[in-house]
Amino acid sequence: MLRNLFVATVVVTLAGCATVQMRIDDVKPGCGADRPFAEGGERATLWIRTSAEFRSSAEGIYRSALLGLQQGLNDATWSAEPTQKGDFSRLPPAVVMDIDDTALDNSAPQARMLLATACPGDFDVLWDSWVAERAAPAVPGAAEFIRAARELKDPQGRPVRVFLITNRACGARRGVASACPQQDDTLANLRALGLDTSTLNDDLMLKGERPEWVSEKLPRRQLVARDYRIVLNVGDDLADFIPDVRQQSLAEREQARCRHHDWWGARWFVIPNPMYGSWQRVLGPELDAALAQPSIPSACGETG
């Protein structure tokens, strides 16, 4: 019942949208040996979708990020990209941000996939259908932060430019001529939230838009860093800030986090996302076994 309701909901929601046709055959009847996508994620998804705690946390982080941006604008030696070297003080300022569950809230498709017990093999078509809806709301505080950031200037009077670096992937879609309809969809979604600017198209950087733009975001940040001083970075995943962490162990990720201990909450700001992320991938498929393991001790010398 829930499964059929889920598919029907997607079809109805996308009615009139010529870019996507969701068929019941697109959702498989069973996952075989695979566990359903996002299995066990009900509480995390509900926390994002319903809790005052999440909204308070996200809004507070974005207010703190704006204060950090103001501080960084007044310090010409300040960069939020560790690989940015040389005399970047002469460059105009920029912020780099992730999109999904940093700027745009994607808890709705997460809930749909949970209700439908969707399989891992279903994810690509269901995710692309969601992107085509152009209906993601803003993460609390995100739209206000982006608008406020774009109003700020450095001491030389140069405005802040906000670059949105996302792993939404460019890909062919049935019945659509564009090589990257996902870019059009994301731009339309952002503009619907009042984030339209004359440079928005150039500020959005999707995975696969260029051959070298793969899941690792460092090359895109470095491209921005050639012409801009990156003052702030906002994301929801360790990989939005530090390269090569997606395949690292939990202990290695903790060590990578601690190497930049003083940057968190100053130059780097993390939006909580318990629904998915590289943190989950490293745990492996056996979540019960992961629960039985002791927590990873801090590598930063912290106590508590």
Name the 3-class secondary structure at 200.
Answer: helix
How much is the pLDDT for 302?
A: 58
- Which residues are CB-neighbours of 157 under 8 A, at least 6 positions away? none
How is the chain split into domains, by residue range?
2-272
**Does pTM surpass 0.75?**
yes
**Euclidean distance between CA atoms 89 and 7, whole angstroms:** 53
How much is the pLDDT for 26?
A: 55
Q: How far is CA 238 from CA 6, 247, 252, 295, in A?
A: 32, 12, 12, 18
Selection from 297, 281, 276 nearest residue 102 by Cα? 276
Which of the following CATH numbers is that of domain 2-272: 3.30.70.3280, 3.40.50.1000, 3.10.20.30, 3.40.50.720?
A: 3.40.50.1000
How much is the pLDDT for 40?
A: 77
Report the 10 Å Cβ neighbour count for 13.
18
How much is the pLDDT for 299?
A: 82
Query: Per-residue pLDDT tens for 87-108?
Result: 999 999 999 999 999 999 999 9
Q: Which residues in the chain come in under a pLDDT of 70?
A: 1-29, 197-200, 302-304
Burial of 64 (0-12, 13-18, 19+ CB in 10 A): middle
Burial of 189 (0-12, 13-18, 19+ CB in 10 A): buried
Query: Per-residue pLDDT tens for 1-35?
Result: 333 333 333 333 333 333 344 443 455 557 877 77
- Which residues are CB-neighbours of 96 under 8 A, at least 6 positions away? 80, 81, 162, 163, 164, 165, 221, 224, 230, 232, 233, 234
Percentages helix, strand, coil for the chain (3-state, rounded to 5) are: 45, 10, 45
How much is the pLDDT for 185?
A: 96
| Block residue for tokens 């929601």 | 13
Residue type, 21: Q
The CA dihedral of 30, 47, 144, 64, to the nearest 10 degrees, is -130
